């Protein structure tokens, strides 16, 4: 048994903000009681969380673990170690591996690897179309049976409106969310950053905000037509968020996530440095303001990292040629504290919601995620004020592609508990 003592327990599911002790027995929470109630005995390991926040385990809806196929950039073992270090107890991994996770045998392979060497829970996302090529629908029912929690052709959009409609109709009957990487590829073709004054100044090919919002509009219409659960991945543009707001005002089952880099950085931060290259690209100042407003008022459902490791040989090349994507796990919480909480833009409880009950609701598992007797013992313990410097060379990831290398943070993950076990401790 493990006793988490003296922590400030924050649970958005039950609106709890209190000093409580949590007793874990095996994989489950045995009891939650006011601080000081449990007396420690020999068979109880004690974790003193005095001065720390104890939250439900963080869920990342969007990550790339690169296994199978690109193990030189990341593996399920190294990726989940980095996730645990960032406070995440569960990560949803995108299907754009090699081979693509478009059938039950790849799904089972990922789950087996996670069971054997994973530090966090791994919840695979299956491809929407075969090989994510956008031609025919993938074996979604078989993948659901094997354990996928959603479908997506992430890395690219579901290619056509016709196929997106078919996927949504199918997923509606299975009650699976469809996660869309919203991008009109004809508008985005050859672009390496957001179109605007900065792209013109740098002489780099830009994509307009509409490259994203046109696709969001298409999918919102199709969600209305089909009644499907639609989740917009890494939403970055003001106009896209307006589409999501419209959908929510109509009670459509449409949700969205925002990444820490999109609520922290803007296109003006881009230099000829591939660590600032990701897709969707860093957006305009007014987009960031709109995302911050949505994070505060509930239009945004979750913070997701889009952790996208690329080994140095691939990423350390000129901006035009570098692949899209940056690391995300280890800096997500600290960036959220820095940009959202320490600035008083949102409450601490709302931030915890964006990492826990928010993503759980997107996946339809919100009733399973709370700090209460009988529930899974997944907990994220963090500090609000611990000062630290992110040194990417110390990362648990196999890759080093982070624009936040060397940044000083206030507040950090301190321990991560999965199924009653401390999988990472500062
Ligand atoms: Zn994507």
- Report pLDDT digits (tens) over 111-131: 999 999 999 999 999 999 999
Residues in the chain: 426
Give residue 105 CA to ligand 1 midpoint distance, Å. Answer: 23
What angle, rounded to 10 degrees, do the helices at 238-249 and 210-226 form? 20
Is 42's pLDDT higher than 80?
no
Give residue 282 CA to ligand 1 midpoint distance, Å. Answer: 13
Give residue 181 CA to ligand 1 midpoint distance, Å. Answer: 5
Q: Is the CB of residue 265 less than 8 Å from the CB of residue 282? A: yes
Give residue 35 CA to ligand 1 midpoint distance, Å. Answer: 43
Lowest mean pLDDT across 28-42, 165-179, 308-322, 338-352: 28-42
Is 380's pLDDT higher than 80?
yes
- Catalytic residue among 287, 306, 378, 385, which? 306
Residue written as tokens 């869920």?
Answer: 59
Q: Measured in whole angstroms, how far is the alpha carbon of residue 343 from the centre of its chain?
A: 22
Q: How confident is the model at residue 2 (pLDDT cuts 50, 70, 90)?
A: very high
Q: How confident is the model at residue 367 (pLDDT cuts 50, 70, 90)?
A: confident
Give residue 201 CA to ligand 1 midpoint distance, Å. Answer: 26
State residue 352's pLDDT score: 98
CA distances from 16 to 189, 251, 269 (A): 47, 27, 38
Is 39's pLDDT higher than 80?
no
Is 41's pLDDT higher than 90?
no
Give residue 145 CA to ligand 1 midpoint distance, Å. Answer: 24
Q: What is the mean pLDDT of residues 187-207?
A: 97
Give residue 307 CA to ligand 1 midpoint distance, Å. Answer: 10
How many angstroms separate the CA atoms of 210 and 207, rounded? 8
Q: How confident is the model at residue 389 (pLDDT cuts 50, 70, 90)?
A: very high
Q: What is the mean pLDDT of residues 295-321?
A: 96
Is 304's pLDDT higher than 80?
yes
Predicted TM-score (pTM) above 0.85: yes
Residue 153 designated active-site: no
- Cis bond upstream, residue 48 (ω within 30): no
- What is the token pair recorded at 402? 């982070």
State residue 368's pLDDT score: 86
CA distances from 177 to 76, 100, 194, 231, 339 (A): 23, 19, 28, 7, 29
Q: What is the mean pLDDT of residues 207-219?
A: 98
Q: What is the mean pLDDT of residues 215-223?
A: 98
Is 291's pLDDT higher than 90?
yes
The DSSP annotation for 101-123 comes to S-SHHHHHHHHHHHHHH-SSEEE
Is 183's pLDDT higher than 90?
yes
State residue 58's pLDDT score: 98
Give residue 209 CA to ligand 1 midpoint distance, Å. Answer: 15
Give residue 306 CA to ligand 1 midpoint distance, Å. Answer: 7
Report pLDDT digits (tens) over 273-286. 999 999 999 999 99
Q: How confident is the model at residue 43 (pLDDT cuts 50, 70, 90)?
A: confident
Q: How confident is the model at residue 213 (pLDDT cuts 50, 70, 90)?
A: very high
How many angstroms separate the CA atoms of 143 and 274, rounded? 35
Is 102's pLDDT higher than 80?
yes
Q: What is the mean pLDDT of residues 268-274?
A: 94
Q: What is the mean pLDDT of residues 58-81?
A: 98
């Amino acid at each position: 048994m493990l006793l988490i003592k003296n922590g400030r327990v924050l649970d958005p599911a039950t609106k709890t903000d209190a000093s409580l002790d949590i007793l874990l027995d095996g994989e489950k929470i045995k009891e939650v009681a006011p601080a000081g109630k449990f007396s420690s005995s020999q068979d109880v390991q004690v974790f003193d969380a005095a001065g720390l926040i104890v939250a439900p385990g963080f869920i990342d809806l969007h990550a790339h673990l690169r296994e199978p196929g690109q193990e030189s950039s990341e593996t399920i073992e190294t990726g989940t170690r980095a996730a645990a270090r960032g406070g995440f107890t569960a990560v949803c991994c995108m299907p754009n591996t090699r081979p693509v996770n478009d059938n039950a045998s790849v799904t089972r392979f990922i789950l087996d690897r996670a069971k054997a060497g994973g530090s966090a829970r791994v919840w695979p996302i299956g491809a929407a179309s075969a090989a994510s090529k956008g031609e025919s629908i993938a074996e979604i029912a078989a993948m659901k049976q094997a354990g996928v929690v959603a479908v997506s052709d992430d890395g690219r959009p579901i290619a056509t409106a016709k196929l997106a409609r078919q996927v949504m109709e199918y997923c509606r009957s299975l009650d699976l969310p469809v996660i869309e990487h919203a991008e009109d590829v004809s508008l985005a073709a050859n672009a390496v950053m957001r179109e605007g004054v900065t792209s013109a100044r740098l002489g780099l090919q830009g994509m307009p905000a509409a490259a994203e919002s046109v696709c969001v509009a298409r999918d919102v219409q199709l969600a209305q037509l089909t009644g499907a659960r639609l989740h917009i991945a890494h939403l970055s543009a003001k106009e896209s968020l307006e589409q999501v707001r419209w959908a929510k005002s109509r009670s459509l089952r449409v949700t969205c996530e925002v990444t820490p880099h999109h609520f922290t950085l803007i296109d003006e931060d881009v230099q000829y440095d591939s660590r600032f290259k990701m897709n969707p690209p860093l957006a305009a100042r007014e987009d960031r303001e709109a995302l911050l407003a949505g994070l505060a008022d509930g239009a945004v459902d979750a913070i997701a990292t889009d952790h996208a490791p690329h080994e140095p040989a691939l990423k350390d090349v000129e901006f035009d040629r570098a692949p899209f994507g940056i690391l995300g796990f280890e800096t997500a919480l600290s960036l959220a504290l820095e940009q959202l909480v320490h600035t008083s833009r949102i409450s601490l409880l709302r931030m915890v919601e964006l990492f826990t009950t928010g993503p759980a609701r997107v996946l339809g598992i919100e009733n399973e995620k709370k700090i209460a007797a009988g529930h899974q013992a997944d907990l994220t313990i963090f500090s609000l004020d611990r000062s630290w410097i992110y040194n990417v060379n110390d990362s648990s990831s196999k890759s080093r592609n982070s624009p936040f290398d060397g940044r000083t943070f206030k507040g950090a993950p301190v321990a991560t508990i999965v199924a009653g076990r401390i999988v990472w401790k500062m």
